[in-house]
């Protein structure tokens, strides 16, 4: 009986720890809600939520979903970074500020993964800036993506048009959202 009791306690503890591991930090949830309310128009929010519900239902039924290319406006993403004080004076993602926020707000294993992804995203952004090309989240580990798709000819976005800091913020959040396990940031 005692063994059964200990097994139950261990199972409850283990599930509680596992649930905590993938939780999004409260501060991030609050800032996302604020930016969603402030930056996205009411009609856009209704359309986006209805598409999300419809796509969720289709996925559960095994039906092909609509493209989710109707991404939230870049103002939403720059708002999140701004509200979390993750931008430098030029409105570019600030590596040190993001790193400090992760240390203070993200659970250990999830934080380690996010720090690795932050390093990759920051490195790609820095390289893009130095090479004077636009930054896209797709630039991160393109060979891994192509091997997963079974297509070695996958294209990476490139553009010669100037990229706004708002677009860079959206791409940076997209990049961070590609964290391998339990992503903290979501895009779109």
Tell me the pLDDT tens digit for each residue of 63-91.
Answer: 877 655 444 578 999 999 999 999 999 99
**pLDDT tier for residue 176 given thresholds of 50, 70 and 90:** very high
Tell me the pLDDT tens digit for each residue of 96-143.
Answer: 999 999 999 998 889 999 999 999 999 999 999 999 999 999 888 654
What total number of domains does the chain contain? 1
Domain with 102, as residue range(s), is 24-43+72-176
Q: How far is Cα 93 from Cα 112, in angstroms, rounded to an integer?
A: 19
- Collapsing DSSP to helix, strand or coil, 129 comes out as helix
Q: Which CATH number goes with the domain that contains 155?
A: 1.10.238
Q: How far is Cα 95 from Cα 24, in angstroms, rounded to an integer?
A: 20
Q: Name residues whose C-beta falls within 8 Å of residue 176's C-beta, 6 or more positions apart in sequence.
A: 114, 117, 118, 121, 183, 184, 185, 187
* pTM greater than 0.75: no
Q: Is residue 7 part of a domain?
A: no
Q: Is residue 48 part of a domain?
A: no
Q: Is residue 187 part of a domain?
A: no
Q: Is residue 50 part of a domain?
A: no
| β partners of residue 93 | 87
Instruction: Give the pLDDT score at 7.
Output: 45
Tell me the pLDDT tens digit for each residue of 11-30.
Answer: 444 444 444 457 889 899 99
Q: How far is Cα 9 from Cα 12, in angstroms, rounded to an integer?
A: 5
């Amino acid at each position: 009986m005692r063994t059964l009791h200990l097994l139950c306690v261990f199972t409850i503890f283990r599930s509680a720890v596992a649930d905590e591991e993938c939780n999004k930090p409260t501060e991030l949830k609050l800032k996302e809600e604020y930016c969603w309310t402030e930056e996205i128009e009411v009609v856009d929010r209704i359309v986006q939520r209805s598409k999300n519900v419809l796509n969720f239902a289709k996925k559960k039924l095994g039906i092909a979903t609509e493209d989710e290319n109707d991404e939230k406006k870049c103002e939403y993403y720059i708002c999140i970074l701004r509200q979390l004080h993750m931008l430098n004076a030029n409105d570019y993602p600030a590596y040190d500020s993001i790193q400090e926020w992760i240390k203070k707000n993200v659970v250990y294993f999830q934080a380690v993964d996010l720090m690795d992804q932050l390093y990759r995203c920051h490195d790609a952004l820095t390289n893009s800036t130095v090479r004077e090309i636009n930054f896209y989240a797709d630039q991160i580990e393109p060979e891994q993506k192509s091997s997963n798709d079974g297509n070695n000819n996958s294209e990476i976005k490139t553009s010669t048009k100037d990229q706004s800091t708002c677009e860079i913020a959206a791409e940076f959040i997209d990049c961070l959202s590609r964290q391998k396990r339990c992503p903290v940031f979501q895009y779109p």
